[in-house]
Structure 1
Amino acid sequence: MDSSIAEFVRRPDLGRVGHSIKVRTNYFEITDLPFPKIYHYDIVIIPEVSPTSNRRIIQEAENSFSGVKAVFDGRRNVYAVRPFPFGDAHNLEVTMPENDMNNVGIMLPRVYKVIIRKVAEIDMREINRFLNGDCSISSNILTGIMALNVLIHHKPSKEHIKVGRIFYTNQGSQLLDGGMEVWQGYFQSIRPKPRKMMINIDLHATAFYERGSLIQLVVRILGKSTVEDLWRIQERDRTKLEKCLKNLKIFVVLRFSRHRFRISKLTNTSASSTTFEVNGQQIDIATYFFSTYGRRLQYPFLPCVVVRNETYLPIEICNVVEGQRYMRKLNERQMADMIEFTCQPPQIRTNTINQGIEILNYRQNEYIYQFGFQISNDMVITQARVLPTPTLYYHPASKEDTFIPKDGLWNLKNKKVATGATLGSWACAVFGSERDYPIGTIQNFIRELVNTCQVAGMNIPNRNPPIQHCNPQGGIENSLKQVWVRAGNSAKSNPQLILCILPNTGAPLYAEIKRVCDTVIGVATQCIQGKHMFSAKKQYCANVCLKINVKLGGMNSFIDPSQMPFITQRPTIIMGASVIHPAPGEQNTGRSSIAAVTASVDAKAFRYFAAIRIQHGKQVVIDDLAEIIKELLKAFYQTCGRKPERILFYRDGISENQFLIVRENVIKAINAACKSLDEKYKPTITFVVVQKRHHTRFFPIDTRRDGDRTGNCPSGTVVDTTVVHPFEFDFYLLSHPSLQGISRPAHYHVLYDENGFNADSLQTLTYNLCYNFARCTRAVSIVPPVYYARLVCRRARFHVSGENWSNRDTLEGIGSASYAVVKSELLNFMYFA
């Protein structure tokens, strides 16, 4: 069976727990779907050209369609609400205007052959049956939804810059540092919902090259004030410039013609020094442009851009083609500007989405009109509930040993951790000179940290660990080994922790520390930014205390057992899995993906162990999952003394078309692992996918009564009606408190359930688990086992690459055999916390 047309667990009921609120959501209802059929045609255009050119060709061909307004996906698929007049197959020739060019200035053929063939008739009545829950999804339904998505994208594709399902507009664009500008984008997608089809509209922003003259772009890329500041470009700047401008599309206006090109590189010499041969004579670029075009260069000291066929063009005569995305990584300043642009409060985001409705202008769209359906201009309003906050337990000796957090936040004041670890053998590695970090300053910080940890319930008999200054630029492994030896010699016992003081937030040093200590030495580490040495704040030290206590085997807090009956009534293991893939554009380089699975190993679902595997890049299933699950089931048994009778498995990072293949992988692996341990061992299984990369957002209607301090929906908001699947068991949960901007809920979708969850039991358990995250005193946005799995994946990337973590080739060609394995000394602790 095709993975995309499988049916999963049906919704057992609607949740009732919690108090009701009304929220707006960024969906717009399709109020009318009157047409019974859509006609699907396959189109082949000869010779082959780009999707942009394809659209222009089909637009010219519309004259042959006898008034039928067909919509086109830019590649092969055309959809129409009435059949074309020429039958099921037809060939025609389309003549394009003489000046038609591609995007780099090469003339295109004038005459194209278009081959049209009817593929299918899509029965839209079946979609209505699906929306009403009367039939499973089918290829006909999927094709119909695809046709509707092509319909709503067709006209905007001709009017805006389009990337995937997002259209970008320069209205209200904002300059970024370094010659870039951020454009507002509008995502739109048709989604089936209970008894309705809806359009999901969301915002997206991305960086584009600044339009205008190329020379001004160069000034901004290099951080100069004026063009005159460029009179002497250093080789380092030239290299930076060439990297940034490579493949950029430009246009040049010479005399009465306009030409478009793509930059391949820069010359090593200036325009006045770069020569080429004309009629057997050598001539420089500056002289050539003056003698040929009568144009004297103002800036002959600048290099030239090189375009096709080794053609040299002075930078000052070039202009940047508008609407080109900047595909490279943004620097810190650009990222800060981007965040400022995108971080809109809920009310402003609502207004911007409504502006997108005006820009997309569905009501004036002649294609939508001919297809005969109408779209509401108002956001959908739906019922939501705010789940009750769980009660947290700390040590009985605390002034507040049990309490209910407010707004998803709390702190350690008046609380002692539920189980305090003992820290006896440790040392401090200071990556910086004694001049930058004097011994007295480090000792003051350690004193405050130790006091905070002891007040919080940890036992630290060794209050004065040895301190060693280390070179942050190199020899890190040897330095850490020396610190480890000093810790052991000082305490006369095996070291438990190395406290590392870092001079910056850069990843290479951090990555190397984790690689060495996790996979070479086998000791827990706690990294701290050097700036905190100079002002040891109690709140910061309390946050560090939480991490240290967990890494040494302690327990910070736990949820009232009566509020998690699924876990506490019978032995139950909670698992979470995540896979991280190579960066976009690198899937063909041989780089590998990293998979991690975490599992609870105590009756309170607080402590988790982890397993890691390296596998083929871009693969969503986890190869060695049965063996991983076997390892984790053994760990649970060794810790609890009982086999888990129930398994609740959460998995992140997969899309809807991967649901079936991943479900089969997980269920098969669990059954195989259990069978290998005991032929009769068959725990009941529930498998849930959690997604964060979606475009559903919620906005409280009455922000004073129902919103939090940022204007978002409060922690605990759950939605399981109106904008969910027509009949499968899914829900949206906003479990975390908002910091700024708009909160993104997690989307949970149940794909397999032998444990008989109803809506309330699974929603409440999932929300309560979000208060069980060890690293902070706040509810988190996704269930901890998945959060931990993501942390483990990130840590594993450091294990593979260390100080070369940012090198694009570091992970190339690696396999599980070459992976640096975490030392056994750490496996029974949450070293990744």
Structure 2
Amino acid sequence: MVTIPDFEEAVEAPVSPPDVLPTMETEQIALPTSSIISRPGVGTTGKHIPLLTNLFKVAAEARDAIFFQYSVTITSEDKRVVESKGFGRKVIDRLHQTYSSELGGKSFVYDGERTLYTVGPLPDNKFEFKVLLEETFSFPKGSTERPGVNGTPCEENKRTKCSFQSKAFTVEISFAAKIPLQSIALSLKGIESYANSQDALRVLNIILRQRAANRGCLLVRQSFFHGDSRDIIDVGGGVTGVRGFHSSFRLTQGGLSLNKDVATTMIVKPGPVIDFLLTHQNVRETRHINWAKAKRILKNLRVRATHRNQEFKIAGFSEKPCIQQLFSMKIKNGEDNNTEQTVDLTVYDYFAKHHDIELTSSTYLPCLDVGKPNRPIFLPLELCTLVPLQRYRKALSPVQKASLVEQSRQKPQERIKILTNAIGNSCYEDDTVLAACGISIDKQFTPVDGRVLETPKLKVGKNEDCFPNNGRWNFKKKTLLEPSHIDYWAVVNFSAICDTSFITRELIKCGMSKGMNIERPYTLIEEEAQTRKLNPVARVEKMFDLLISKLTREPKLILCVLPERKNCDIYGPWKRKCLCEAGVVTQCISPLKITDQYLTNVLLKINSKLGGINSLLAIEHSGHLPLIKDTPTMILGMDVSHGSPGQSDIPSIAAVVGSRCWPLISRYRASVRSQSPKVEMIDALYQPLNDGNDDGIIRELLLDFYSSCNRRKPTQIILFRDGVSESQFNQVLNIEVNQIIKAYKHIGEDDVPKFTVIVAQKNHHTKMFQANALENVPPGTVVDTKIVHPKNYDFYMCAHAGMIGTSRPVHYHVLLDEIGFSPDGLQNLINSLSYVNQRSTTATSIVAPICYAHHAAAQMAQFLNFDDLSESNIPIPELPRLHKNVRTSMFFC
């Protein structure tokens, strides 16, 4: 694969554009609201190709069927509302078994929370039932093996949230709404709005979730995982991937369909907690365990106490080891059983005296705390095992990611076989609720007509044409279109195993073959051996001080040889030092794979960062881009990256890249900000200050466009937005686009630019397969009929060549098109934008502006150590701004 390695980034040295435009206050601007446009037509260009998709046609015969929605409240004997989904399902299951006749023999569809559905009404609109569970569903009565606070066993101290002490529950059911199944058919015919069918679709999807829950599956939205040993992928570190299936009902032009696909999620390896910690932290002895890290990993996971076979949720650890940790316990007073006394016991003594268990391996280890903040419950580690099918919510290491990809990839024909077997064995016809709706599901893949768009031609050095083959090209015997000249640069080496003299000679030699004139480096700095034991920030500071002492002027480039690989702890501090403080372009390389191809990839990145151009679209090079060549047009790529699911308290990173040097569409600059955790809408597009100025992202990019385009302002904006769901489309149109308009007006413009707004989604489960071939669909494959939205303007495109596994097309949604592209024109523009990524010699699966925004966010996120910050109580600082010398560079390449 010839995609440029991820190990670098950079910056160049142009000065940021002057603030040449007048400003004005526009706080009270009245902005229009926009609605999502309908499909204007379909594309016709390209070679037609027969395809299969993993959508299965659904027939609903009982068109007069009506779902009745009921609100459910479950309370225990002490009037506590039951919130646990798993426990709620057990109560409702028992209710159905006990009171089936009173409920008219109706089958339930329960969402696990506060709503259930039936096909047709229940006998009454309101019910109240008493439900009894066996002791296996609640904690055993009189249990004393869980040391609590003040010495009272958990069942006897009347703690409200320790467990459900009673076995009796009150279930209240009351009618809420009617949802006709026919709304789906009516919306497809255009008689009712598409929104009216969403409630019925939601109920159908809840039926699928309930089926999976009844089989004991792990539910992750609409993906279900059973945990069969044949579906387990061990990726190391106590973490395994588990294969399952995504199943969801969807509305398409062709009618109601079931989307079924292979899915994978990560789970912690079940078994003894101590074994998991040793494996996860890659240590051999418990004395080497990092307990702060262990707490982050284990918090909220469930364990089973082996001495009583009960489950608990982990809250943390005890402050002291098991043999020292005291708790208070009430015991009967001698022969007089009517009085009690309070005694203090260690957890170790408690288990020895009351359970005849002599602890061994966890004696000097902290206990698990499975209680509440003010009432801990301590369990020795050696008596606790992690229960199966628990999601692992932390980020995988690079080694784990590589292992997962290697073991989970499936070729197209293999995936077809797996899905064919899955749909054949699903037994949907046996489901009583689906049967009551008259639902039947075809077992054949849906055929669809695809088109393969023409591959765009590229221009490289010496005005040569370059014709990509199967979405790929290379620079063998070719030169860069606009190579940079590197006359004064330096090399720093953090690696103890690397010959930097060899690397620089090979880099200069490779650059010469690509048309880049690279002089010998002015200085080459090796890290001193004694500094390698310092923390990463100190190592970077020492290296930089040494470098500055050797230089006579500001270098054009600093080449940094990392200790091992990009994902080392030097990377973030080094990038921050160069890009934010020094204002110098830097390129990081790995010392482990110095090959000609690797160095070529590195040179592509260096050239882009220094303002050079590796290649352009031929139509871009000639200045003949339709609808763009005659009107100043700015292309924006927007993305927000969030912390891993287990990092709920670290900021999200919003990145926007904007095109520059119109009429080119291959040159970009980025603007990045931090914002509130898990917030998807970008809140810094327009950011008015107290003095009336705007410090937002869009103003920064607009000024740069103005400066780089001979003082021309964009009158057209093509916006590509990544990472938003269908429910957020209106927010993109009416919040984010309006913020862009505000920023535009704030620089003194009365006219509003024309917008074309496109959302790109990769997180979906629609796959396309060639009907008559074993390999992936060819690059440039587009589908805009039959399997697309019944009304809105969307299409699927697979712009890249899938070399490994099964290709995933990008689902593009056109929300607004004031510029007026034809379907063919827009699809060809998007396909072409997959060939302009300057760091790659393959067509990217998604348009380059979105790739750049993703890279910019990921790189600048490493400027802060979020793992350390999330453990502290101090506010997390904002991301540092780039130095003015590198602000306009493509540092994200």
Identify which of 136, 141, 145 aligns with 2:197: 141
Are residues 1:605 and 2:661 paired?
no
Give per-residue Cα distances to partners, 1:256-307, cap 9 Å, x unaligned.
x643344556679988898988889999888876776677778686858545
1:389 Cα deviation from its structure 2 partner = 0.4
Q: Is the 8 A contact 2:298 2:314 kept in 1?
A: yes
Match of 2:679 in 1: 619
What letter corresponds to residue 241 of structure 2 in structure 1? Answer: V
Match of 1:530 in 2: 591
Q: Distance in 1 between matches of 2:259 and 2:48?
A: 23
Match of 1:365 in 2: 431
Match of 2:780 in 1: 716
Q: Distance in 2 between matches of 1:614 and 1:192?
A: 37
Distance of aligned partners of 1:332 and 1:515 in 2 relative to their CA distance in 1, 3 Å threshold:
closer
Matches within 5 A, 1:463-474: 463-470=520-527, 471=531, 473=534, 474=538
Are residues 1:690 and 2:719 paired?
no
Matches within 5 A, 1:478-497: 478-480=542-544, 482-484=546-548, 486-487=550-551, 489=552, 494-497=554-557
Q: Is the 8 A contact 2:660 2:704 kept in 1?
A: no
Are residues 1:798 and 2:862 paired?
yes
Structure 1 runs not aligned, ≥5 long: 705-710
1:826 Cα deviation from its structure 2 partner = 1.3
In structure 2, the residue corresponding to 1:396 is in which secondary structure? helix
Matches within 5 A, 1:217-236: 233-236=286-289
In structure 1, the residue corresponding to 2:675 is in which secondary structure? strand
Higher relative contact order (CA 8 A, sep 6+): 2
Match of 1:30 in 2: 58
Matches within 5 A, 1:70-109: 70-86=108-124, 88-101=125-138, 106-109=163-166
1:35 Cα deviation from its structure 2 partner = 3.0
Match of 1:708 in 2: none
Distance of aligned partners of 1:556 and 1:165 in 2 relative to their CA distance in 1, 3 Å threshold:
same
Q: Distance in 1 between matches of 2:874 and 2:803?
A: 37
1:512 Cα deviation from its structure 2 partner = 1.0
Distance of aligned partners of 1:810 and 1:724 in 2 relative to their CA distance in 1, 3 Å threshold:
farther
In structure 2, the residue corresponding to 1:378 is in which secondary structure? coil
1:514 Cα deviation from its structure 2 partner = 1.1
Identify which of 754, 760, 774 aligns with 2:838: 774
Are residues 1:132 and 2:189 paired?
yes
Give per-residue Cα distances to partners, 1:459-508, cap 9 Å, x unaligned.
33x32431112355424135335535644x2xxx5421111111122343
Distance of aligned partners of 1:179 and 1:456 in 2 relative to their CA distance in 1, 3 Å threshold:
closer
Match of 2:304 in 1: 251
Q: Distance in 2 between matches of 1:586 and 1:442?
A: 38
Identify which of 805, 811, 821 aligns with 1:757: 821
Q: Is the 8 A contact 1:395 1:417 kept in 2?
A: yes
TM-score by length of 2: 0.81
1:770 Cα deviation from its structure 2 partner = 0.8
Are residues 1:551 and 2:604 paired?
no
Computed over aligned residues only, the root mean square deviation of the Cα atoms, in angstroms, reads 3.4
Give per-residue Cα distances to partners, 1:134-181, cap 9 Å, x unaligned.
54333x322222111112222211212223222111221244434444
Q: Is the 8 A contact 2:637 2:657 kept in 1?
A: yes
Identify which of 447, 453, 459 aligns with 2:511: 453
What letter corresponds to residue 601 of structure 1 in structure 2? Answer: C
My pick for the range that moved more, 717-726 or 340-349, is 340-349
Q: Is the 8 A contact 2:659 2:666 kept in 1?
A: no
Q: Is the 8 A contact 2:632 2:716 kept in 1?
A: yes
Q: Is the 8 A contact 1:133 1:726 kept in 2?
A: no
In structure 2, the residue corresponding to 1:499 is in which secondary structure? strand
Match of 2:177 in 1: 120
1:114 Cα deviation from its structure 2 partner = 2.2
Give per-residue Cα distances to partners, 1:356-386, cap 9 Å, x unaligned.
4356431222221122211122222222111
What letter corresponds to residue 419 of structure 1 in structure 2? Answer: E
Match of 1:150 in 2: 206
Matches within 5 A, 1:502-521: 502-505=562-565, 506-521=567-582
TM-score by length of 1: 0.87
In structure 2, the residue corresponding to 1:197 is in which secondary structure? strand
My pick for the range that moved more, 558-567 or 214-223, is 214-223
In structure 2, the residue corresponding to 1:411 is in which secondary structure? coil
Q: Is the 8 A contact 1:168 1:185 kept in 2?
A: yes
Identify which of 45, 48, 51 aligns with 2:81: 48
Q: Is the 8 A contact 1:98 1:110 kept in 2?
A: yes
Match of 2:311 in 1: 260
Identity %, equivalent residues: 30
Q: Is the 8 A contact 2:393 2:646 kept in 1?
A: no
Q: Distance in 1 between matches of 2:804 and 2:46?
A: 25
1:515 Cα deviation from its structure 2 partner = 0.6
Identify which of 724, 731, 734 aligns with 2:798: 734
What letter corresponds to residue 571 of structure 1 in structure 2? Answer: P
Are residues 1:403 and 2:466 paired?
yes
Identify which of 570, 578, 582 aligns with 2:639: 578
Identify which of 474, 485, 490 aligns with 1:427: 490
Match of 2:709 in 1: 640
Distance of aligned partners of 1:500 and 1:121 in 2 relative to their CA distance in 1, 3 Å threshold:
same
Match of 1:380 in 2: 446
Are residues 1:631 and 2:721 paired?
no
1:8 Cα deviation from its structure 2 partner = 1.3
1:22 Cα deviation from its structure 2 partner = 2.0
What letter corresponds to residue 133 of structure 2 in structure 1? Answer: M
Q: Which has the higher helix share?
A: 1
1:754 Cα deviation from its structure 2 partner = 0.8
Are residues 1:541 and 2:603 paired?
no
Match of 2:38 in 1: 10
Q: Is the 8 A contact 1:592 1:813 kept in 2?
A: no
In structure 2, the residue corresponding to 1:621 is in which secondary structure? coil
Distance of aligned partners of 1:273 and 1:61 in 2 relative to their CA distance in 1, 3 Å threshold:
closer
Give per-residue Cα distances to partners, 1:293-338, cap 9 Å, x unaligned.
6777786868585455766656555554333333344455544443
Q: Is the 8 A contact 1:499 1:526 kept in 2?
A: yes
Distance of aligned partners of 1:428 and 1:667 in 2 relative to their CA distance in 1, 3 Å threshold:
same
In structure 1, the residue corresponding to 2:433 is in which secondary structure? helix
Q: Is the 8 A contact 2:634 2:658 kept in 1?
A: no
Give per-residue Cα distances to partners, 1:583-621, cap 9 Å, x unaligned.
43544x373543433323332211112223333333333
Identify which of 59, 63, 77 aligns with 2:93: 59
Q: Is the 8 A contact 1:598 1:789 kept in 2?
A: no
Q: Distance in 1 between matches of 2:67 and 2:486?
A: 70
In structure 1, the residue corresponding to 2:779 is in which secondary structure? coil
What letter corresponds to residue 769 of structure 2 in structure 1? Answer: F
Q: Distance in 2 between matches of 1:413 and 1:768?
A: 22
Q: Distance in 2 between matches of 1:569 and 1:38?
A: 55
1:451 Cα deviation from its structure 2 partner = 2.1
Give per-residue Cα distances to partners, 1:48-86, cap 9 Å, x unaligned.
221122122222333132111121101122122111111
Q: Is the 8 A contact 1:421 1:554 kept in 2?
A: yes
Q: Distance in 2 between matches of 1:283 and 1:672?
A: 66
What letter corresponds to residue 675 of structure 1 in structure 2? Answer: K
Q: Distance in 1 between matches of 2:889 and 2:357?
A: 72
Distance of aligned partners of 1:465 and 1:810 in 2 relative to their CA distance in 1, 3 Å threshold:
farther
Q: Is the 8 A contact 1:7 1:137 kept in 2?
A: no
Q: Is the 8 A contact 1:23 1:382 kept in 2?
A: yes
What letter corresponds to residue 81 of structure 2 in structure 1? Answer: E
Are residues 1:199 and 2:258 paired?
yes
Q: Distance in 2 between matches of 1:208 and 1:731?
A: 34
